[in-house]
């Protein structure tokens, strides 16, 4: 892929440049999804993030997000890796940030959301499946707690507010949860700022200059 203004997607950039990583559609984990569903495979993303952190030519990471949910464990693994990077990182939510897209957005050092973008927040559940044993219920409760803890640790959103959004019964017709849009996501502390691509790039270039790379 040709370099554009020091940026390459899924490849090395010029010295001190920005690596652009796109996470779109369903995040695929251990269960394979249908060929008609766009997927981001976590086993491809994890080593890529490690390589970005170690590559001297890359000065910062830009994450473009338009997610539709997917494997929670896989999404949390990606989010944890992003949050643990030393290099400057910035997320930009475009279109929608469904379910696991929320911790992915919060994982970056700085987060932006497009004015028209939305974030969907709901509890961990399996559609159409009745939980028949206590062990299964406890498993989902523990995963949900991990998500709540991660989001509230890496954003300005309080635990009480995030749980309220997650369990809201007034907004989604066939589900429990909330859909919040750009300005509201910033107001509630889930995202740092309203912004577009230029805002995200300006932030990252400023961080690169601070680091002298």
Active site residue 89: no
Q: Within 10 A of 57 (CB to CB), how many other CB atoms are there? A: 16
Are 198 and 114 in contact by the 8 Å Cβ rule? The answer is no
Of 99, 111, 155, 178, which is the active-site residue?
A: 99
Active site residue 99: yes
Helix (H) or strand (E) holding 159: helix 159-166
Residue positions counted in the chain: 213
Q: What span, in angstroms and rounded, lies between the C-alpha atoms of 203 and 138?
A: 41
Q: Which residues of 157-183 are buried (b: 16+ CB within 10 A; e: fewer)?
A: beeeebeebbebeeeeeeeebbbbebe
Are 89 and 21 in contact by the 8 Å Cβ rule? The answer is no
DSSP 128: T
Of 19, 98, 122, 205, which is the active-site residue?
A: 122
Residues assigned a catalytic role: 99, 122
């Amino acid at each position: 892929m040709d370099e554009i203004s020091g940026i390459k997607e899924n490849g090395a950039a010029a010295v001190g440049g920005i690596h652009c990583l796109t996470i779109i559609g369903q995040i695929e984990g251990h269960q394979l999804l249908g060929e008609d569903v766009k997927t981001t495979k976590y086993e491809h993303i994890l080593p890529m993030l490690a390589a970005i952190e170690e590559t001297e030519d890359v000065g910062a990471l830009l994450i473009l997000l338009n997610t539709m949910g997917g494997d929670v464990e896989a999404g949390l693994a990606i989010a944890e890796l992003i949050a643990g990077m030393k290099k400057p990182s910035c997320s930009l939510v475009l279109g929608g940030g469904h379910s696991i897209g929320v911790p992915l957005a919060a994982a970056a050092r700085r987060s932006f959301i497009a004015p028209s973008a939305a974030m969907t927040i709901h509890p961990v559940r399996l559609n159409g499946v009745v939980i028949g044993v206590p062990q299964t219920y406890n498993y989902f409760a523990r995963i949900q707690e991990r998500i709540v803890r991660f989001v509230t640790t890496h954003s300005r959103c309080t635990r009480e507010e995030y749980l309220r959004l997650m369990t809201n019964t007034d907004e989604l017709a066939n589900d429990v949860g909330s859909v919040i849009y750009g300005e509201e996501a910033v107001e509630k502390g889930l995202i740092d700022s309203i912004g577009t691509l230029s805002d995200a790039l300006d932030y990252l270039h400023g961080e690169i200059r601070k680091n002298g790379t």
